[in-house]
Amino acid sequence: MVGCKRDVAVFKDLGINSIRVYDVDYTKSHDECMKLLEDAGIYLLLDMPSPQYSINRAEPHWDHDTMGHWQAKVDAFSKYPNLVAWIAGNEVANDVETTPSAAFVKAAIRDMKAYLKTKKLTTPVGYADNDDPKIRMNLINFFNCGDEGSRADFYGINTYRWCGDETDFKTSGYEDITKNMTSYTIPSLLTEYGCNLVRPRTFSDVKSLYGTDMGSTFSGGIMYEYTEEDNEYGIVKVSFGDSKVEKNGDYDNFKKALAAVKPQGVKMDSYKASGKDSVCPAASNVWHVKSDVLPPTPSQARCQCMIDSLGCTFKSDKLSTAEGKLVGEVVGNICGATSCDEISVDTAKGMYGDFSACSSLQRSAWAVNKNYENQRSAVCEAGDVETKIIGSPKQGDVKKCLSEKDDNGVVGKPSGSGSSSSKDEDNSDDSDSDEDSNES
């Protein structure tokens, strides 16, 4: 609690009302710290992913393990009245080649919104992008198109365009950012800002963010960042378990910039919805996603049922890193020689196999069994990784697995966006704040 008490006092001195925290140990109690924040009138925006359980932009996947950890974080923090929002992804798709990952992030938003609904919670779930010019508008439109259940509840932009006092609202590009969001139908904010290329940082963009330039379009922003790290964006230096705070010049400048603005909120009875829902971007050479179809909701039951149907599988339910690499090569060879549609993904075509949301090991076992079934000599093998033959599998008909409940308790065939199938039928054969990163 030493760090939390120390930091809350600093937050109060700055006059901020919200912080963003990227990761927490949700297995520990945060009751005292969250109460200190609540008493200080400070809200928390918390990222759902963690370094171990997040959507990998290079090899995106959304499965039971990742969803389960996000659900556990929701369970741990949803009791706090000052938890104001969840962020389901931070700069996941950050260039043209990684745009397929956006489909998985949106699927995660869909599923976590559904999970929150089962808990009778309405905490908004959003996304934070990296302001990349080649994919910016596609991302902005993608996360605000389609059915309401799969759309983001708010959209965040991480931007570092405004650098120093020689830059202004127009020359920084902030004017363009604002124009992009003027007719947006969900709230938008700057989830990171505070360029450090020009020293000292004077935070002259704060005046535009909370003034007439942007105030009617954006719901504020989160300055990056509070504690000093190797990237030199921090405004204070602190040490774990130490109540001492070493403030740098950026701290005083940020405090001064905040004190100079008087943002005006909007009362609910004065709010009038405007704008229109975005049009989903079409798949193209710069957007590798068929936007109207999303990856299926993970299902532990469906995947276990599939495993129970295999006549050839791995001896162990855990593989070493070296074994995983070997299996990857084996599966690559198998799927190069035969169809692996049931475990494959093609985001540009909107094709997601019935078992594509299963774990890497489960999908690999499916491929090894497919090869086993295709071999006339019935050889059950996966290179140098040990396998075993199951004489009488528990599940005799793998098609029955498709009726198993998903991880949100929904029964039926794996589905993508809304209630539509993720795979067409005619294709079925072929804290203590010392520990946590935070921003103010």
β partners of residue 190: 157, 221
pLDDT above 90 covers a percentage of the chain that reads 89
CA distance 424 to 380: 31
Average pLDDT value over all residues in the chain: 93
pLDDT confidence of residue 416: 57
Pairing assessment for the beta strands 18-21 and 43-47 based on DSSP bridges = parallel
> Which is the catalytic residue, given 192, 225, 404, 439?
192
Q: Is the pLDDT of residue 426 over 90?
A: no
pLDDT confidence of residue 377: 64
pLDDT in tens, 123-159: 999 999 999 999 999 999 999 999 999 999 999 999 9
> Which is the catalytic residue, given 32, 38, 91, 323?
91
The pair of three-digit structure tokens given for residue 433, joined into one six-digit string: 């704040």
Average pLDDT over residues 389-416: 90
pLDDT confidence of residue 439: 54
Cα-based distances in Å from 127 to 47, 205, 349? 9, 22, 23
381 an active-site residue?
no
91 an active-site residue?
yes
Q: Which residue has the higher pLDDT, 439 or 414?
A: 414
pLDDT confidence of residue 158: 98
Count of alpha carbons within 13 angstroms of residue 312, beta-carbon side? 19
